[in-house]
Amino acid sequence: MKFQKVNTLKGEVTIPGDKSISHRAVMFGSLAEGLTEVTNFLQGADCLSTIDAFRKMGIEIENTPEKILIHGRGLHGLKEPSSVLDMGNSGTTTRLISGILAGQTFASTLTGDASIQKRPMRRIMEPLSMMGGKIVSLNGNDCAPLQITGSPLHGIHYHSRVASAQVKSAVLLAGLYAEGETLVTEPSLSRNHTEIMLRAFGAKLSSEDKTARIYPEPRLQGQKIHVPGDISSAAYFIAAGLLVPGAEILIKNVGINPTRDGILKVAKEMGGNITLLNENYDGEPTADLLVKHSQLHGIVMEGDLIPTLIDELPVINVMAACAEGTTVIRDAAELKVKESNRIDVMVQYLSAMGCDITGTDDGMIIVGGRPLHGTVVDSHMDHRIAMSFAIASLVAEGDTEIKGSDVVTISYPGFYADLARLHH
């Protein structure tokens, strides 16, 4: 697909449902008793992989345009799948479901696309094995396909080396089936949607600072869940609104959970004009964001801030490329093991567009302010790479061609249409 520089952007966009929260709603609804009703569910390919997997384990899930209805069968109601479970491109499905499958009374095999078969799974295999789980990487490379033989589990206190909500959630979900309590301590707090939603379903779960603790065998009760808009999807419109001259965009229905709102902090620190409207703190907090074109300046991003904006870093790189001065990103080595190596890919194509960017072991250094020009970008089948370069193209001279642009269906099927509606 080809993209061109725009004159300006104006109007409103309503952000589709949060990917992380949509996955969890299906998983926890399947393990709960009774009906779970989910509105504003993200109909992205990743979340559909989660639905497919639970259907294969005997859960009836109705997917209608208005809502998802999950007919949960309780903590011990899953059935042995008759075929391999296909995770598609979804790391969240793969890692979280592994925690659930480890504590079942049946065996299962998980696989996924080429990217999933390269994502590191040792990070969940290690703690789940410590709990008594039996997980084998069938190719012996610590990646999927994984064979999981359900077994009795016991609680542990796991000190994770990475700040990863996927690792934390896998261990907490296994903890539902373990004997005794299970604790996870992480180096920096990662997104806490599992903790919030599991508690709402009735799990005995507490969190203090960077440690979450869960007790086994709760009775989970079906819930009504309204999924807030995904701040990771809103990020592209935040960047577009800040970068395009004269732009003014109202971004509606954005989840602003403090474990996810790093992009708002960073955008403001860089000099961005963003106003929060209609803030709502009932459950997962939400707001509308009014974003206006701003002259940005470079900053340093590191430490505990990084997990709160990890998925937004590719588009934050684009903001930094257009900012005055130097931006330094540290402590973000996790970027190397996302859907693509996001340090290498961002450095390769932002350089090709004329940006002064250097990759480091755990981030990048960007000397902003040079004019960008169009180029040919390969998405590396990474949705966030495709969307980030679609935003860069809005301020680049000449054509930008994105190969593999369709990959946005993973997290935001209507992305290009929503962006096109703002063109003026």
Nearer to ligand S3P, 30 or 164 (CB): 164
CB of 351 to ligand S3P, least distance (A): 24
CB of 396 to ligand S3P, least distance (A): 26
Nearer to ligand S3P, 116 or 355 (CB): 116
CB of 123 to ligand S3P, least distance (A): 8
* Catalytic pick among 46, 261, 311, 418: 311
Rg of the chain, C-alpha, whole Å:
21
Nearer to ligand S3P, 90 or 400 (CB): 90
Residues of this chain that bind ligand S3P (CB under 6 A): 20, 92, 164-166, 169, 190-191, 310-311, 334
- Which pairing describes strands 286-292 and 248-255: parallel, antiparallel, or unpaired? antiparallel
Nearer to ligand S3P, 32 or 121 (CB): 121
CB of 249 to ligand S3P, least distance (A): 23
What is the 3-class SS of the chain, one letter each residue?
CEECCCCCEEEEEECCECHHHHHHHHHHHHHCEEEEEEECCCCCHHHHHHHHHHHHCCCEEEECCCEEEEEEECCCCCCCCCCCEECCCCHHHHHHHHHHHHCCCCEEEEECCCCHHHCCCHHHHHHHHHCCCEEEECCCCCCCCEEEECCCEECCEEECCCCCHHHHHHHHHHHCCEECCEEEECCCCCCCHHHHHHHHHCCEEEEECCEEEEECCCCCECCEEECCECHHHHHHHHHHHHHCCCCEEEEEEEECCCCCCHHHHHHHHCCCEEEEEEEECCCCCEEEEEEECCCCECCEECHHHHHHCHHHHHHHHHHHHHCEEEEEECCCHHHHHCCCCHHHHHHHHHHHCCCEEEEECCEEEEEECCCCECCEEECCCCHHHHHHHHHHHCCCECCEEEECHHHHHHCCCCHHHHHHCCEC
Nearer to ligand S3P, 73 or 191 (CB): 191
CB of 268 to ligand S3P, least distance (A): 22
Give yes or no: 311 in active site. yes
Tokens of 276: 């929060």
Nearer to ligand S3P, 32 or 47 (CB): 47
Nearer to ligand S3P, 284 or 334 (CB): 334
CB of 177 to ligand S3P, least distance (A): 19
CB of 165 to ligand S3P, least distance (A): 4
Residues 203, 216: Cα–Cα separation, whole Å: 8
Nearer to ligand S3P, 249 or 329 (CB): 329
Residue nearest to ligand S3P (CB): 20
Using CB atoms within 10 Å of the CB of residue 77, give its burial: 0 to 12 exposed, 13 to 18 middle, 19+ buried. Answer: middle
CB neighbours of 191 closer than 8 A, spacing ≥ 6?
20, 165, 257, 259, 260, 307, 308
CB of 310 to ligand S3P, least distance (A): 5
Catalytically active residues, by annotation: 311
